[in-house]
Amino acid sequence: MVELTGIEPVASSLRTTSTTTIISLIRRGLSIMVTRLMKVSLGLVLLNALLLPRAFADPILSIEPPSTSVAAGTSFAVDVNVSNVSDLFAFGFDIGFTPATLSAVSVTEGSFLPRGGSTVFLPGTIDNTAGTISFNADTLIGAIVGVSGSGTLAILDFTAPSAGTSPINVLNVSLLDSTLSSINSTTVNGNATVGAQAVPEPSSLLLLGTGLLVALGMERRRLFG
């Protein structure tokens, strides 16, 4: 019988080497997977950074048109608009302007909030001495969802008694959703430029009458001159 000596230590050494190699391969594979996952995660973070600000940007309240030019003594209207709002159930705001240049006449409910159902609209209190329209407010009635999208909240009517410039500022804005939670927003104010009152041009009838008088005078001079 031939005895093979030294085989067991060699086998043990092979098993140890094989185990070490397998562990090394597993670690290498895990390292590659982790590196790839980190790259994917970084890509997702960058993608979210690009998309989320657009998806969740605050709604904007603005005066439209943002700039108005009129002659003194005339009337004009501007809209208070909202854009990109979600679940708007109620709102309130004040308006500020220069009373030496503008005079507020009325505030009318816009078409945006009534899209959602019945409303209660409160036109603001006009103070043409202070140059304010205070406590304009509108709300839906009942346990319903708010309105989403863009549209006109209110229409402001002004007259322009004298030449000058005036801001039309949206102040103290409050927007509420259907849970009566506040909605963050930003504002874009407007302005109005009032020019000197235009001098009316002579009417065509007056011009015709003047021409006839001149012609008659020339004819009298020819006959009796």
* Structure token digits, residue 221: 């001079």
Would you state the pLDDT for residue 82?
A: 98
Predicted structure pTM score: 0.65
Q: How far apart are CA 78 and CA 154, in angstroms?
A: 9
Residues 6+ apart with CB under 8 A from 112: 82, 88, 147, 149, 150, 151, 152, 153
Asked, as a colleague might, if the bond just before 9 is cis with ω within 30 of 0, I would say no
User: What pLDDT, on the 0 to 100 scale, is given for residue 48?
Assistant: 47
Q: What is the pLDDT of residues 175-217, one digit of tens each?
A: 999 999 999 999 999 999 999 875 555 555 455 555 655 565 5
Residue (of 65, 64, 58) closest to 84 by Cα position:
58
Produce one character per residue of 162-176: b if its CB has 16 or more CB atoms within 10 Å, e if not.
Answer: eeeebbbbbeebebb
Residues in the chain: 225
Evaluate whether 161 touches 103 at the Cβ level (below 8 Å): yes
Half-sphere exposure of 43 (CA within 13 A, CB side): 6
pLDDT at 26 over 90: no
9 pLDDT band (50/70/90 cuts)?
A: low
Banded model confidence at residue 220, pLDDT cuts 50, 70, 90: low
Predicted local confidence at residue 23, as pLDDT:
65
Chain segment 129-179, per-residue pLDDT in tens: 999 999 999 999 999 999 999 999 999 999 999 999 999 999 999 999 999
| pLDDT of 225 above 70 | no
Higher pLDDT, 38 or 97: 97
CATH class of 60-195: mainly beta
